[in-house]
């Protein structure tokens, strides 16, 4: 084995670091360009998607009640696919945007129901909900909905056919937890380590933006994301949001939304 000098080692390490920093900068620049393109594209696509969605709703309402079940079924398929595309466009729009959340007291059950509306899932995938009917969260509901739609969509895609997705929400005086668990194939250590990386995907025809956006949106709303996964057992994504005095009616240590500690 070759013996390296001290300085040789340092130089090599410096070179490595410079290379790494260069790569990081390139990655950041690439992401910024992708972000800009993405938000422009999503701006253009949002309108036609929403027009198509409204047209489907209109057809559904105005079709006579004795219309063939197959017609309704296909309208349902169209609506699901349009909703999936809308989620993708929503993801793209957040890539290039720094729009601050519009936070208000929001009903968690309504947010979860809207998220479920936006995902494409096989009928064999069961959904189990455990959410207190009056549970509220101080957040931008459309942002948290998009985050949950991404998470639940990943679970549905991982399950493919049979399986169960649980959405559980629990609240203490200081914290709201929203947990999405599936009993799908889970992730290897290697995949788990990269799950938040922009453009990281293990699937063909997917963007690898979902979890990047989830972390961005949840963070913008004052929350954190934890992912636990075991191959063969399944995956749990846990969102944690601190609760504040105006949410609970109980005094907390601080009134500042940004300083409150998660309990
Ligand atoms: N619930 C899950 N079960 C198994 N793998 C998952 C799950 N959620 C995410 N992953 C893995 O993380 C990767 C990145 O997810 P995401 O950022 O949403 O991008 P995409 O869904 O476009 O691949 C997925 O390709 C998949 O390998
Ligand atoms: Mg995804």
Q: Specify the long-range contacts of residues 252-261, CB closer than 8 Å, at least 24 apart.
A: 252/173, 252/174, 257/138, 257/222, 258/222, 260/174, 261/174
Q: What is the pLDDT of residue 31?
A: 73
C-beta 141 within 6 A of ligand 1:
no
Q: What is the pLDDT of residue 135?
A: 95
The answer to whether residues 120 and 82 touch, using CB atoms and an 8 Å cutoff, is: no
In the predicted model, residues of the chain with pLDDT beneath 70 are 1-11, 96-98, 246-263
- Which residue has a Cα nearest atom 11 of ligand 1? 195
C-beta 196 within 6 A of ligand 1:
no
Q: What is the pLDDT of residue 257?
A: 38
Domain locations along the chain: 6-95, 104-248
- Residues in the 5 Å CB sphere of ion ligand 2: 154, 210
Asked: is 6-95 a CATH 1.10.287 domain? The reply is yes
Q: What is the pLDDT of residue 53?
A: 92
| pTM, 2 dp | 0.78
C-beta 206 within 6 A of ligand 1:
yes
What sign results for the dihedral spanned by CA atoms 136, 142, 148, 152?
positive
- Which residue has a Cα nearest atom 8 of ligand 1? 154
C-beta 158 within 6 A of ligand 1:
yes
Distance 87 CA to ligand 2 centre (A): 10
Q: What is the pLDDT of residue 1?
A: 43
Asked: is 104-248 a CATH 3.40.50.2000 domain? The reply is no
**Domain 6-95 matches domain 104-248 at the CATH topology level:** no
Distance 217 CA to ligand 1 centre (A): 17
| Chain-centroid distance, C-alpha 255 | 28
Give, for ligand 1, the residue of 156, 211, 217 to mutate: max count of ligand atoms closer than 8 Å to Cβ. 211
């Amino acid at each position: 084995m070759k013996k390296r000098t001290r300085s040789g080692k340092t130089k090599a390490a410096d070179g490595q670091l410079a290379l790494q920093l260069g790569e990081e900068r390139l990655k950041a620049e690439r992401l910024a360009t992708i972000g800009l393109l993405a938000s422009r594209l999503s701006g253009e696509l949002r309108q036609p998607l929403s027009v198509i969605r409204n047209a489907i709703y209109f057809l559904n309402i105005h079709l006579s009640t004795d219309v063939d079940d197959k017609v309704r079924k296909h309208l349902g398929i169209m609506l699901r696919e349009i909703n999936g595309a809308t989620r993708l466009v929503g993801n793209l729009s957040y890539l290039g945007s720094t729009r601050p959340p519009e936070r208000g007291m929001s009903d968690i059950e309504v947010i979860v129901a809207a998220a479920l509306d936006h995902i494409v899932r096989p009928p064999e995938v069961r959904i189990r909900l455990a959410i207190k009917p009056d549970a509220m969260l101080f957040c931008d509901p459309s942002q948290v909905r998009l985050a949950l739609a991404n998470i639940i969509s990943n679970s549905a895609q991982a399950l493919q056919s049979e399986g169960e997705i649980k959405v559980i929400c629990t609240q203490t005086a200081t914290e709201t937890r929203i947990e999405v668990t599936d009993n799908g194939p889970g992730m290897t250590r290697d995949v788990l380590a990269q799950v938040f990386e922009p453009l990281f995907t293990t699937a063909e025809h997917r963007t690898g933006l979902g979890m990047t956006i989830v972390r961005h949106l949840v963070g913008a709303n004052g929350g954190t994301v934890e992912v636990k996964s075991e191959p063969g057992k399944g995956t749990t994504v846990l969102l944690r949001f601190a609760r504040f005095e105006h949410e609970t009616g109980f005094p907390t240590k601080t009134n500042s939304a940004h300083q409150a500690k998660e309990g």
